[in-house]
Amino acid sequence: MASVSLSSLCLTQNPISLSFSSIASDHLRFGSPTVEFGSVKKYRRDRAVVCRASSVVFRNLDADDFRHPLDKQNTLILRAIPGLNELGKILLGSVAEQVMLLENIGTSLLVSKDQLSGLHRLMVEAAEILNIDAPDLYVRQSPVPNAYTLAISGKKPFVVVHTSLVELLTREELQAVLAHELGHLKCDHGVWLTFANILTLGAYTIPGLGGMIAQSLEEQLFRWLRAAELTCDRAALLVAQDPKVVISVLMKLAGGCPSLADQLNVDAFLEQARSYDKASSSPVGWYIRNAQTRQLSHPLPVLRAREIDEWSRSQDYTTLLKHATQITGAKKVLTTPGR
């Protein structure tokens, strides 16, 4: 089966009709806006020797060990939809595969041991911690802070990170983002991420009942997408092993910029999340909250922050850490002059 996986870090709103770019905005346009490549210049000037960011690895980690309950529930619902897989095979062909593959490879910078080696090491370490093969990693110029994953059947999957996200985050936060994307691969989210785009787009082109089918699919698929993001935030925590690192990423995506980074407060952001829960606890607040989130592909940043804070204090997370394999290595990043 030809399958394409497309996932994104950033919150996007459900458009009237879906396209490939509805989940990872800006990544299928030929010719993206240019931004100052400050972070990559920094990697070019310096050779970063990145020591392991985690004290444990999960040698026998299974996706269901950290999968969010809502992800499990909504995946079962999707699998129960008659004909969903068959329709996806019809709508998704080799041409779409090649367009997505070549466009991403042709407009991005491949990270390797010899190119942005610090970023390469962050990816390799995150993959080792999650017990998954490391995909290729690309850096792409874009003013929109985002990261996304592409997996095509028979080909090695790859992750793309936008330059503005590299500039916005610390190395620990950036590794948490890479771990989030690895979570999609670990949990085999790819097929459903693709169907969220392809199936709905195809349904909208069918006269008569097509619009009704599309709307129904959109609601269910986007409900699943929001749940899948909660799972992948957990993957980020398994690598970072510090909830404040993951929450800081969400805070910066909500309203951060490089010039304000040193003024941001994770505890204040968590308090903001609690105030949102309180404000939406009334019947009217509950209705407004559902209306606010039902057309989003990602949960609101404050809700994601609250979820990861709660899971970091759960027995499930503690048990995973207890069964992990201890490793040695200082939690430092040493920088030496580059050539």
Per-residue pLDDT tens digits for 96-113: 667 777 877 888 999 999
Distances in whole angstroms, Cα of residue 77 to Cα of each of 8, 88, 209: 22, 16, 21
CB 301 within 8 A of CB 253: yes
Contacts of 134 (CB under 8 A, 6+ apart): 123, 124, 126, 127, 128
Burial label for 92, CB within 10 Å (0-12, 13-18, 19+), is buried
Between 254 and 208, the higher pLDDT residue: 254
Do 233 and 147 touch, CB atoms closer than 8 A? Answer: no
Contact in structure between 62 and 133 (CB atoms under 8 Å)? no
Pairwise CA distance, residues 101 & 157, whole Å:
10
**How far is 157 from 169, CA to CA, in rounded Å?**
23
Q: Which of 141, 160, 162, 165 is nearest to 257 (CA)?
A: 165
SS3 33: coil
Neighbours of 302 (CB within 10 A): 21
- The catalytic site residues sit at 181
pLDDT at 188: 86
Amino acid at 204: Y
Residue carrying structure tokens 């396209």: 19
pLDDT of residue 303: 92
Q: 């346009």: which residue's tokens?
A: 29
171 vs 103, higher pLDDT: 171
Q: Is the pLDDT of residue 11 over 60?
A: no
Per-residue pLDDT tens over the stretch 268-318: 999 999 988 887 878 877 777 777 776 676 788 999 999 999 999 999 999
